[in-house]
Amino acid sequence: MPYTLAFTTEVLRFRPVLPLGVPHVTTEDVMVRDYVIPRESTIMMNILAIHSDPKIWGDPEVFRPERFLNADGTEFVKNKAYMPFGAGRRVCVGEQLARMEFFIFVVTLVKHLSFCMPDGIKPNYDYGHRVTTLLPKPYEIIAKPR
């Protein structure tokens, strides 16, 4: 199961559901390095940028679940820069439930179906935006009962 967990984790790193997280408002002036964020400013965490940073991930444009496994692939390893549910005191309260449900959903699909691309069709991982979420481009896929 470590590979399945790494796979679902990589899905949310590769294309986080809320690429800018949830907006927050500062309750007082905050100093970040040499910049002052004034009180009552709306701030958002750019999760997509963090998850796409080559300094952190090396090859962020490559879908590679193995980045979340130890060297022999037997244990899941979480990267502290992975934060599709936010971070700190304001992390999503539903994170554990969402991760469990997503894991069960993927395992159930893979148990009952096999997936492939139609002949001559290449996958398109591009995406657009819908206000606060990512919108996948239309694609074709074949799902066959096992």
Banded pLDDT at 133 (limits 50, 70, 90): confident
Residues 6+ positions from 117 with CB-CB distance below 8 Å: 123, 140, 141, 142
| 38-71 core/surface letters (b: 16 or more CB in 10 A; e: else) | eeeeeeebebbebbbeeeebeebeeebbebbbee
| Structure token digits, residue 79 | 């990267």
pLDDT tens track for 29-75: 999 999 999 999 999 999 999 999 999 999 999 999 999 999 999 99
**Any bridge partners for residue 143, and if so which?**
115
| pLDDT-wise least confident of 3-17, 37-51, 129-143 | 129-143
The pLDDT assigned to 88 comes to 85
